[in-house]
Amino acid sequence: MSLTPEDADPSEQRAMARPTAANAQPNRVTFNRLELNRILNLYGRMVADGEWRDYAIDFLKDRAVFSVFRRASEVPIYRIEKDPRLARKQGMYSVISATGLILRRGQELERVLLVIDRKLAVV
């Protein structure tokens, strides 16, 4: 007796349709561990200061985007983007404001984040 597609277990059908981990999303740009650590450290300090409240991370085919929100219902106040296509030109890292203005672009994430990273000032 053979099973027809209607008689098969639905979980088995989903498992067969699911892509394997090796080829799930091979063409995505991501932040590496050190980049994400630096960005999240800045994010944590700004949350502690009460300036930022939420974030979103998007891994797209051509770039990775870390968006920072003052409130979850608004547009992002800053976008930190990594675009490897620009690595040999202006630099693959950039900080973009809510209006779309590129605040800083460069080869090193640390230097690019200085535009929004407020250091403690001695008074």
pLDDT (tens digit per residue) in 91-119: 899 999 988 899 999 999 989 999 888 66
The pTM is what?
Answer: 0.71
15 and 34 in contact (C-beta within 8 Å)? no
Bridge partners (DSSP) of residue 54 are 69
113 alpha-carbon distance from chain centroid: 14
**Whole-angstrom distance, CA of residue 55 vs CA of residue 25:** 22
pLDDT (tens digit per residue) in 13-46: 555 555 555 545 568 888 889 999 999 999 998 8
Residue 90's pLDDT band, with cuts at 50, 70 and 90, is: confident
**Whole-angstrom distance, CA of residue 89 vs CA of residue 85:** 8
For the chain, what are the domain ranges?
53-118
What is the predicted pLDDT for the residue at 95? Answer: 93
Residues in the chain: 123
What is the predicted pLDDT for the residue at 117? Answer: 82
CB-based contacts of 25: which residues, under 8 Å, 6+ apart?
Answer: 59
34 alpha-carbon distance from chain centroid: 13
103 and 95 in contact (C-beta within 8 Å)? yes
66 vs 26, higher pLDDT: 66
pLDDT over threshold 90, residue 66: yes
What is the predicted pLDDT for the residue at 31? Answer: 87
What is the predicted pLDDT for the residue at 49? Answer: 86
